[in-house]
Chains A and B, each alone.
Chain A
Amino acid sequence: MSIVRANGLSVHMEQLRPPEAVSGVPGGGPTAVLIHGLATDNLASWYLSMAHPLAAAGLRVIMYDLRGHGKSERPTAGYTLDHFVDDLAALLAVLDVTGPVHLLGNSFGGTIAFSYAARHPEQVAAIAAVESSPPTAAWFERVATRLDAAAAHLPHEHVLARISAERGERASRRARAARDVLVATSLARDLPASRLPAEERIAAIQCPVLWVYGGSSAVVELAPDVQRLLPHARIVTVPGQRHSILIDQPDTVRDIVLSWLRQDCGLHPGPADAAAGRDGRDQPPSPATLH
């Protein structure tokens, strides 16, 4: 486990460097930073879905647990959008990442990515966001409603028992993680009080942008708003998937992101197994990453 100090906090981060044979540069080519979502999430969802394929494609991959989440420090207060964006900026500084970065965000992680890009447009090469939105008032209203409901209900054991019975152990574990952070911190109160960037700052983001939505998720309702703000963005909706598409369908998300990196970002990710070399020879190639 790697712990670094950033923005005054102990931050759990994991890092993968590409094999030199792929990047052609010792230590790696461009950098990708993978940002998870709020309350139920931590860096594991990215580590298990995109970390290895991105490293095999030649990117230096950085993942971290947001403040209050996973194995990062959990201060009792300080959970506005600016706190999260400051944390990201501080982490990149500590890790000496200077060039433009590729940002991948799941749910609110995508919102952090866009907020960072609105603040430092020259520092962002591309953004891929799963089940997410830029920092708009409509999105923050939704997030606030969800956090309020979770903070009100999850502390009750019978609610957790019902989630476990109706939706299974995975959902129950995620609910417990959410309860722990919501009970111990002011996240549910701080986030709605966030200062949001002006819409013009978001609309001014020119880098390639990918949105991935689940067709059965309520968040896909925000897609028209996203398209209005960022008409150049590519939007992919996966039928039947819900908000947890990244952990439910990691292979699908991986194929969509890798093909976008190739087509819109000028990266040339090969099949993960070939790029990874010897250890990958037993893996069946994934058609979607080959063509």
Chain B
Amino acid sequence: MSVDQVNILAEVAAMLHAIRADAGVDGEITMATRFQDDLEMESIDVISLAGRLQARYGNAVNFAEFIAKLDLDSIRQLRVGQLVAHIATALDAAEADAGHADAGLGTAGLSA
């Protein structure tokens, strides 16, 4: 696990503790922690992370796109590590693309 991932895991774990505290769910959160089996999170609980992720990481981490590939069942099978890896990759790419992020996009979305 990279230094970046260690830091991101700590931040995501803090968010999850905040969300799950009222449900009495406690304990260490690792990359292997499962949203459903370990944290007792329903899909709606996982989705409610979106606002916190947006506030912390901005638009670089496209949470909606990440989970758009999943359905109601598979989102609950996710492990924390998969989300951490997505965030790390997205932040790396944003850094690498800084300054010319939009250059290749143009109106691609409008011409189809």
Contact = CB atoms under 8 A, between A and B. Distances in A.
Interface in A17-66: 19-22, 42-45, 47-48, 51-53, 55-58, 65
Given A22-B109, A52-B65, A275-B109, A47 B47 contact: yes
A173 interface: yes
Interface residues of B, number: 35
B68 A290 contact: no
B64 A16 contact: yes
Given A14-B51, A47-B47, A70-B44, A21 B71 contact: no
B24 interface: no
Nearest to B110: A268
Contact of A22 (B47, B64, B110): B110
Interface centre among B51, B65, B90, B97 (most CB of A within 10 A): B65
A272 B69 CA distance: 12
Interface string B58-73: 0100101101111111
Contact of A43 (B47, B71, B97): B47
Nearest to B94: A278
Contacts of B112: 268-271, 274, 289-290
Contacts of B10: none
Contacts of A42: 44
Given A47-B67, A48-B70, A277-B102, A71 B110 contact: no
Contact of B90 (A44, A247, A272, A279): A279
Contacts, number: 104
B71 A276 contact: no
- Bin chain A's interface residue count: 35 or more
Contact of B47 (A14, A55, A283): A14
Interface of A is mostly: helix
B71 A247 contact: yes
Given A57-B109, A71-B44, A48 B71 contact: yes
B105 A21 contact: yes
A275 B42 contact: no
A253 to B, nearest CB: 12
Contacts of B8: none
Contacts of A12: 48
Given A56-B65, A170-B73, 9 more contacts: A1-B19, A1-B52, A14-B48, A52-B65, A56-B109, A274-B105, A274-B109, A277-B105, A279-B65
Interface of A: 1-2, 12, 14, 16, 19-22, 42-45, 47-48, 51-53, 55-58, 65, 70-71, 170, 173, 247, 250, 268-272, 274-280, 283, 289-290
28 contacts: A1-B52, A14-B51, A16-B64, A19-B105, A21-B102, A21-B106, A21-B107, A22-B110, A44-B44, A48-B68, A48-B71, A52-B68, A58-B110, A65-B44, A70-B44, A71-B44, A71-B48, A247-B71, A247-B72, A250-B71, A269-B109, A269-B112, A270-B111, A274-B109, A275-B109, A276-B62, A278-B101, A283-B69
